[in-house]
Structure 1
Amino acid sequence: MDVKGFHLSYCSNIHPGESWEATFQNLKIYIPEVRQRLKAEGPFGIGLRLSNEASLALERPEKLREFQDWLRKVNAYVFTLNGFPYGDFHRQIVKEKVHFPDWTTTDRRDYTIRSFRILAQLLPPGIDGGISTSPISYRHWFKTTDALNQGMETATQHLLEVVEELVTIHRITGKLMHLDIEPEPDGVLENSDETVSLFLNWLLPKGKPWLAQKFGITESEADELIKRHIQVCYDVCHFAIVYEEPAETFAKFEAAGIRIGKIQISAALKVMIPETPNGKFSLGKKLLSFVESTYLHQVVARDAKGKLKSYSDLPQALELLPESKEEEWRIHFHVPVFLENYGSFSSTQETISIVLKEILSKPEITQHLEVETYTWEVLPEDTRLSLGESIARELSWVIGEMG
């Protein structure tokens, strides 16, 4: 929906189900309910999570026509897709497998191109479309620098082949779309410096001569095409976990000519570490309710000198908590954005408010906003609401923050 010129929605990866039938059924149930709860008027934007399985079904013309007819009927539109999780994302062990298949594989490339071809047929006129995606791969899968460099070489070629497809679609249909790479803790790209490095050390050096030859253009024109069609998904939770300040990150991307295709509005769990053994013991017991087997909950700790230390999952951090000299932990747990506190814990909700103020003052940063809290099923019971109510409260809080 339009909020002060921004397209705002929630990401439908909150709903379980990998098939297109399950995905469509959830949209039919929750889009009308959320619209009614918000008393939203006008076209209602959808942030669609489309698995590989669902994309194979939706590319069939009869399925696509049925969906288009439904969108017209309910006055809704799709402007962004979540193409990060390729396969099943609920009610099973996901952990680092959320990155699989990664950008070193043709499976990831083909799924993404298929999704863009679908999105091109769903996008309303005059709106650009984006698909968020994995930050190349899971960094701990690469045991040596040589292995990582080889993976980056292959991944870069696959990303450029997506750019080639997007340039072709834009020339034929006029639909402008971008791939929005989403940095994440323990991804190959997990912060702004590593994201800038992807462009400066891989995409541009390799891509400019390759695209120039493909399309018979100058390398300067190829540079612009790469930056137009590969952008960043700025997940507020992820950047808050690595302690980045939004204004500094936005300025860094702007200086490098990197655009932000989508901001995912999300909050991380934040805890302050007590100094005493008893305090740490009590904290550890309370955090046990957030230990679960479905998703990775990476922890980034900061000590009094500002030094950061990463843990691959919450259980590993809890093992070392008794000896910890750290002051603060930020935990990759997408907690509800409308709650500032969770008992004795807090969240990085304040960072969302800062981000929203930044984009209201500089709307050129991005026009796509997507609330992404997908962990409702694994949250402690005292933080849960009905799903429709939860989605509406998230969006309502964001609308309120935007004035």
Structure 2
Amino acid sequence: MLTSEGHLTYCTNIHAGNDWPDHFASLKENFPLIKNDISPNASMAIGLRLSNEASVALADSQKFEEFKRWLAQEDAYVFTMNGFPYGEFHNTVVKDQVHTPDWTTPERLSYTLRLADILLKLLPEGMDGGISTSPLSYRYWFDTEEAKEKATISATQNIIAVVEHMYKQKLETAKVLHLDIEPEPDGMLETGPEFLNWYNDYLLPLGKKYFSETLNLSDEESEAILKEHVRLCYDVCHFALGYENHSEVVQQLKENGIKIGKFQISAALKASLPEDQKDRASIKAAFAEFNEATYLHQVIAQKNDESLLRYRDLPPALADTNDTDVKEWRAHFHVPIFESNFGLLQSTQSDILEVLKLQEELQLCQHFEVETYTWGVLSPELKLALPSSISRELLWVQPLLDKAF
């Protein structure tokens, strides 16, 4: 839906299914109910997530036209896509395989190019369109700095191929698409500084060289193309998880002329760890309630000296609860954004409020997507029926984007 700050939707990665019939069936079952709650009298957007298998099917003209007719019937539109999970995202152990195949592979490149072609045809006139994607790869798959360097270069070259494709699409249609890189806990790019360093040290130099050699473009022209078509997907949960200063990240982006392509509005779990061991054990037990086997739930602990201690998943953190040098935990578990307290635990909801205030002041972006994909693994008392749960999140954030602070 259109708010005073831009377009708001929810990410359909919450809906289970790996093939197009399952994707489409979930949309037809859930979206009309959500739209009736949120935007019964105006168009509403869908943050479309397609698996690779579903994207192949939707490339078929007959299936595509059927989907377009359904969108028109429901008064719905698509301005953003989630191209991060390639395969099944529910009902299986995902963990680090959410990055598979990574950006070093032709499979990831082909998948993303296919998404770009689909989005170009779905995108309404007068809008730009974004595809959020993996932060190159999963950092712990590479044992040496040499291997990591090689992977970074290979991944960047594939991303440049997407930029070229989007640039040519713009020349042909005047529509602007952008690839929105999403820093992720334990991703090759995890933090704001890591994203900026990659952008300046790899993407821009390699991109300028490529466009000079293939299209005879100047460095200035090449940089403008790269900055138009490669942006940051600002997942609020991920930046809050790393205790990042949102104002500083935004300022550094502006200083470097790099755009935010999409805000993913999401929240993590957090709690202060008291010195008393009995109280600390209670906090441990509360976090343990969120220990499920589908996704990685990295924990980033802040020590008394403000330094950070990282755990690759929740179980290793739970085994280290007695470290009295740690004063706070934040866990990568996308919890409902409308709740700030979960018993003994809290959420990083205040980070959402801070980021949206920055948006109101600086007009950073026009794409907003609520992304709570963990409804299926939440305890029953934290959720309603899925459409009602999604509606509740959108109804919480909509007034904030309409400047009703």
Q: TM-score, normalised by structure 2?
A: 0.98
SS at match of 1:275: coil
Contact 2:5–2:360 (Cα < 8 Å) also in 1:
no
1:236, 1:39 → 2: CA distance?
Answer: 24
Pairing of 1:239-278 with structure 2 (within 5 A): 239-278=239-278
* Corresponding residue for residue 133 of structure 1: 133
Pairing of 1:228-307 with structure 2 (within 5 A): 228-307=228-307
Does 2:88 correspond to 1:71? no
For 1:392, the aligned partner's letter is S
1:91, 1:272 → 2: CA distance?
Answer: 32
Does 2:101 correspond to 1:108? no
Does 2:48 correspond to 1:51? no
* Corresponding residue for residue 374 of structure 1: 373
* Corresponding residue for residue 385 of structure 1: 384
How many pairs align?
402
Does 2:166 correspond to 1:171? no
SS at match of 2:53: helix
* Corresponding residue for residue 400 of structure 1: 399
Q: Aligned-pair distance for 1:5?
A: 4.2
* Corresponding residue for residue 146 of structure 1: 146
Q: Aligned-pair distance for 1:356?
A: 1.0
Q: Aligned-pair distance for 1:381?
A: 2.2
Q: Aligned-pair distance for 1:91?
A: 1.2
For 1:395, the aligned partner's letter is L
1:88, 1:134 → 2: CA distance?
Answer: 15
1:356, 1:241 → 2: CA distance?
Answer: 17
2:358, 2:68 → 1: CA distance?
Answer: 34
CA RMSD of aligned residues (A): 1.0
% of aligned pairs identical? 47
2:103, 2:316 → 1: CA distance?
Answer: 27
Please give the per-residue CA displacement for 1:216-251, whole angstroms capped at 9, x wherever unaligned. Answer: 221110011011111110000000000112211111
Contact 2:16–2:90 (Cα < 8 Å) also in 1:
yes
1:361, 1:56 → 2: CA distance?
Answer: 41
For 2:287, the aligned partner's letter is L
Please give the per-residue CA displacement for 1:12-62, whole angstroms capped at 9, x wherever unaligned. Answer: 001100111111111112221011112443211110011101000000111
Pairing of 1:187-206 with structure 2 (within 5 A): 187-206=187-206
Please give the per-residue CA displacement for 1:331-372, whole angstroms capped at 9, x wherever unaligned. Answer: 000000000101111000001011111111222x11000000
1:74, 1:175 → 2: CA distance?
Answer: 24
2:187, 2:2 → 1: CA distance?
Answer: 32
1:398, 1:323 → 2: CA distance?
Answer: 37
Contact 2:113–2:165 (Cα < 8 Å) also in 1:
yes
SS at match of 1:18: coil
* Corresponding residue for residue 339 of structure 2: 339
Does 2:187 correspond to 1:183? no
* Corresponding residue for residue 327 of structure 1: 327
For 1:391, the aligned partner's letter is I
Q: Aligned-pair distance for 1:194?
A: 0.5
2:243, 2:48 → 1: CA distance?
Answer: 29
SS at match of 1:210: helix
Q: 1:353 to 1:324 in 2, by over 3 A?
A: same
Query: Gaps spanning 5+ residues in structure 2: where?
Result: none
1:172, 1:381 → 2: CA distance?
Answer: 50
SS at match of 1:8: strand
Contact 2:237–2:268 (Cα < 8 Å) also in 1:
yes
Instruction: Give structure 1 regions of 4+ aligned residues with deviation exceeding 4 angstroms.
Output: none
Query: Gaps spanning 5+ residues in structure 1: where?
Result: none
For 2:224, the aligned partner's letter is E
Please give the per-residue CA displacement for 1:73-122, whole angstroms capped at 9, x wherever unaligned. Answer: 11110000000000000011100000010001110011000110000000
Please give the per-residue CA displacement for 1:374-394, whole angstroms capped at 9, x wherever unaligned. Answer: 001111222121101100000
1:376, 1:388 → 2: CA distance?
Answer: 11
* Corresponding residue for residue 121 of structure 1: 121
* Corresponding residue for residue 351 of structure 2: 351
SS at match of 1:62: helix
Please give the per-residue CA displacement for 1:165-221, whole angstroms capped at 9, x wherever unaligned. Answer: 111111111110000000011001011110011111101111102112222221110
Q: TM-score, normalised by structure 1?
A: 0.98
1:39, 1:63 → 2: CA distance?
Answer: 26
For 1:257, the aligned partner's letter is G
1:271, 1:359 → 2: CA distance?
Answer: 27
SS at match of 1:290: coil
For 2:268, the aligned partner's letter is A
Contact 2:287–2:345 (Cα < 8 Å) also in 1:
no
SS at match of 2:130: strand
